[in-house]
Structure 1
Amino acid sequence: MSDTIFAEVPLVSMKDQDADPDGFAQAFGASFQRFGFAMVSDHGVPHDLIERAWKVTAEFFALPEEEKRRYHLAGGGGARGYTPYKTEIAKGAEHVDLKEFWHIGRPLPEGHRFADLMAANIWPDRPADFRDTFIELFEAFDRAGDRLLSAIARYLELAPDWFDPAVKDGNSVLRLLHYPPVPADAPEVRAGAHEDINLITLLLGAEESGLQLLDRSGEWLPVKPPEGAMVVNVGDMLQRLTNNVLPSTTHRVVNPPVERRGVPRYSMPFFLHPAPDFMIETLPGCMGADRPNLYPQPISAHDYLHERLVEIGLVKK
């Protein structure tokens, strides 16, 4: 295994996007096409907001188990609120993941056309600043995601604003993840090998080792960005939309070395989704005589998400 991924996956700065949007799009898109992953610095999410979010996240997960479980919505598919430890399982995995998490979705006004498809947020009584912190963080992730999708559109030779109507009122989810300390002999991994469901994922918290991607060479590569940078990866919806031009790469979170197994791990992925009624249909520019359409049947983002949540055990058939 490589000691570092930097020799493989480039680190790109979103500062370059303002000065040279096409150049940034080529660098970012090329990393996506080769690895399904990219490292992104200068992403615009304020450092003080991130630090506040880490503090509040740790405070919430330190609450008594009985109190946290008050916010678990049975039958809700984990869409909002708390999902207890050892609930989610990667497709095809033998062991459940060693994690607990909280989901925050897009706030919608009363009577919105997606109100029946996108659950309302629920908020814990404590920490006191939980709601305000994560509404602000959701909005910051949303802005960064829009900019990155604009770069992907340029890379695919689409209009820079092509994704704007697709993700307006999108069913995006901010996940607060806690991987508790694990026993030295634990057979499971913290998160089994999987691909993400959505368009792209923006991740904070990968500085703590454990995240790995499965390279096309068959080698597991560690993903450890510099302090403050994001890891961004392709989800299955974008892979399907681009006819596998941009691959949704398998990744996992492995148990730490024995000397680090007493240390908890926290991360905050933002799963950027399109609106529920967006039709995932292969882009014409991503198919041709030398690249036949692998996904001839379009599917709505809502139906695709439901299928995948059944596969990972968050929704029952």
Structure 2
Amino acid sequence: MDLAEIPVLSLVDDRAVLPARIGESFRTFGFAMIRDHGIDLALIDRAWALTRELFDLPEDTKRRYFVPGQGGARGYTPFRTEVAKGATEKDLKEFWHVGRDLPAGSPLAASMPPNVWPEEVPGFRETFTELYAQFDAAGARILSAIAVDLGLQADWFDPAIEDGNSVLRLLHYPPVSEGAGGAIRAGAHEDINLITLLLGAQEAGLELLSKEGRWLSVAPPEGALVVNIGDMLQRLTNHVLPSTTHRVRNPSGARAGHSRYSMPFFLHLRSDFRFATLPQCISETQPDRYPESITADDYLQERLREIGLKA
């Protein structure tokens, strides 16, 4: 398996050159790698420990935190529930979602339910509330660089993501059994949201599909974030910034007997944000692909139905 030669960028690089470097990486791969992201490493270590503790809970205990009809928006989603768009086999994973705590009386409450917290894991709420906030801040800084690269003001995304419907997903891929059939840990897919910030997984397996149609392995250095473009940003930029297909393949040999954990932060727009293609991403040779208007929440609900999380 060839390695994707994605440059590792620093979020504290000279602000005069960082936007162009991030933009080039996204245009080439749909992915970037970011170090110096400002997320506390000790907090990350606590989060990994609590993630393992969470998924080690008995199955019936975890299922008490499954909320039917919410599309997995908060709490627990059981093993083999989600399916990649267009796939027939459900993914070999279980996950837990932490979302934004909205202020009382927020008009967005109808689309963003309250969090669910596992009583059996001490310190879980405090740790992941803080980690969510730090991911949120790092994502806003990355979006600021993207905005400058697109010819926008550095703060262009700030109102679009204020109280956004972002989700921190704790993922567990159990050991792969011989009875998995054609299923893999995560089928080939594109993310729904604006950008995804992923803390490196302990086990290999993340791959992206190159423009030439080859699967390339993604291997971030320790402590770096993998960041990829989601379909919402692809839509907003009229495909100037591409949402790249990726997957998590099954391990082979002895590694098949090991769990894999990862922690993506799906940075979303406000639920009431209304898409309008950026004018600077439209030209005679690149006409607007999305002249119709749709809100971010309408788009999200449509995609959740496509991946089996909503009926």
Give TM-score, length-normalised by structure 2: 0.98
State the alpha-carbon separation in 2 of the partners of residues 30 and 205 from structure 1.
Answer: 22
Unaligned runs of at least 5 residues, structure 1: none
Find out whether 1:9 has 2:6 as its counterpart.
yes
CA contact (8 A) 1:184 1:261 kept: no
2:229 to 229, 234, 255: 234
**Which contiguous aligned blocks of 4+ residues in structure 1 show a shift greater than 6 angstroms?**
none
CA positional deviation for 1:15: 2.0
CA distance in 2, matches of 1:205, 1:268: 8
Structure 1 residue 50, shift from structure 2 partner: 0.3
Aligned to 1:163: 157
Spell out, residue by residue over 1:175-208, the C-alpha distance to the aligned partner (whole angstroms, 9 max, x if none): 0000000114633110000000000000013352
User: What displacement does 1:133 show?
Assistant: 0.5
After TM superposition, list the pairs within 5 Å mapping 1:83-122 onto structure 2.
83-122=77-116
Amino acid at match of 2:225: M
Alpha-carbon distance between aligned partners in 2 of 1:75 and 1:277, rounded to the nearest angstrom: 21
Question: How many positions carry a matched residue from both structures?
Answer: 310
- Does residue 293 of structure 1 match 2:285? no
CA-to-aligned-CA distance 1:30-61 (integer Å, 9 cap, x gap)? 10111110111111101000000000000010
CA distance in 2, matches of 1:139, 1:184: 40
Partners of 1:53 and 1:235 in 2: how far apart? Answer: 24
Q: Does 1:251 align with 2:218?
A: no
Q: Percent identity?
A: 61
Contact 2:190/2:245 (8 A) holds in 1: yes
In 1: Cα distance, 2:175 partner to 2:203 partner? 13
Q: Give the whole-Å Cα distance in 2 for the aligned partners of 1:185 and 1:83.
A: 21
Secondary structure at 2:305 match in 1: helix
Secondary structure at 1:137 match in 2: helix
Deviates more, 1:34-43 or 1:142-151: 34-43
Please say which of residues 142-151 and 114-123 is displaced more in the overlay: 114-123
Looking at structure 2, the residues matched to 239 and 207 of structure 1 have their Cα atoms a distance apart, in angstroms, of 29
Q: State whether structure 2 residue 212 is matched by structure 1 residue 224.
A: no
1:28 positional shift = 0.8
Range moving further from structure 2, 22-31 or 167-176: 22-31
Of 170, 173, 195, which aligns to 2:167? 173
Match of 1:211 among 191, 206, 209: 206
Alignment of 1:1-317 (within 5 A): 1-2=1-2, 4-5=3-4, 8-16=5-13, 20-184=14-178, 186-187=180-181, 188-316=183-311
Residue 240 of structure 1 aligns with an amino acid whose one-letter code is R
Cα drift, residue 9 of structure 1: 1.4
TM-score after normalising by structure 1 = 0.96
AA in 2 matched with 1:219: R
CA distance in 2, matches of 1:184, 1:259: 13
Question: Unaligned stretches of 5+ in structure 2?
Answer: none
Report if the CA contact (8 A) 1:13-1:42 is conserved.
yes
- How far the C-alpha of 1:22 sits from its partner, in A, is 2.6
Q: Give, in whole Å, the separation in 1 of the partners of 2:239 and 2:78.
A: 34
Name the aligned partner's letter for residue 223 of structure 2: G
Q: What's the secondary structure of 1:212's corresponding residue?
A: strand
Contact 2:201 2:260 in 1 (8 A): no
8 A Cα contact 1:204 1:230, kept in partner: yes
3-state secondary structure, aligned to 2:257: coil
Cα deviation for residue 212 of structure 1 reads 0.3
Root-mean-square deviation (CA, aligned residues, Å) is: 0.9
Aligned-pair distance for 1:245? 0.3
Distance in 2 separating the partners of 1:206 and 1:231: 10
Inter-partner Cα distance in structure 2 for 1:204 and 1:184: 28
CA distance in 1, matches of 2:90, 2:16: 42
- C-alpha separation between the residues in 2 aligned to 1:126 and 1:149? 36
Letter matched to residue 77 of structure 2:
T
